[in-house]
Amino acid sequence: MLILKILRRPEWERFRAEGRTSGAPVDVADGFIHFSTPAQVVETAARHFEKESDLVLVAFDAARMGPALKWEASRGGALFPHLYREMRLDEVVWDKSLPLGASGHIFPEGLL
């Protein structure tokens, strides 16, 4: 199963350069890295990145993340994937730009 992380371009570039990251400032503050499923990511983008345009959508294989990935109740009681360790670049399945269009973010074709 794919899980998704939205990163700002500088966060993505730093992650690529260093090969690992503790995530965005909100992740560091919360003590885990927030992910979304494909069914959850549109609302995540709208809520937390509403007017941001220089974003990168990064896909990970949840099965490769091991026991540090926990599924926990969050928004509306839905289970969200939370990673209790750093993300590693070798776990990335793909990355794509996530531009902002006139009516919201434009997600890669076939994802949703």
Least confident residue range of 40-49, 55-64, 74-83: 74-83
In the prediction, which pLDDT does 76 show? 84
- The reply to whether 110 falls in a domain is no
- The reply to whether 111 falls in a domain is no
In the prediction, which pLDDT does 49 show? 97
102 vs 32: CA distance, rounded Å: 32
- The reply to whether 23 falls in a domain is yes
pLDDT band at 105 (very low <50, low <70, confident <90, very high): very high
- The reply to whether 34 falls in a domain is yes
pLDDT band at 61 (very low <50, low <70, confident <90, very high): very high
Among 56, 71, 48, which residue's Cα sits nearest to residue 1? 71
pLDDT band at 74 (very low <50, low <70, confident <90, very high): confident
- The reply to whether 66 falls in a domain is yes
Q: What is the CATH number of the domain that holds 52?
A: 3.20.170.20
Range of the structural domain that residue 85 is part of: 2-99
DSSP secondary structure string for all residues of 11-43: HHHHHHHHSEE--SHHHHHHTSEE-B-TTTHHH
Number of independent structural domains in the chain:
1
- The reply to whether 104 falls in a domain is no
51 pLDDT exceeds 80? yes
84 vs 82: CA distance, rounded Å: 6
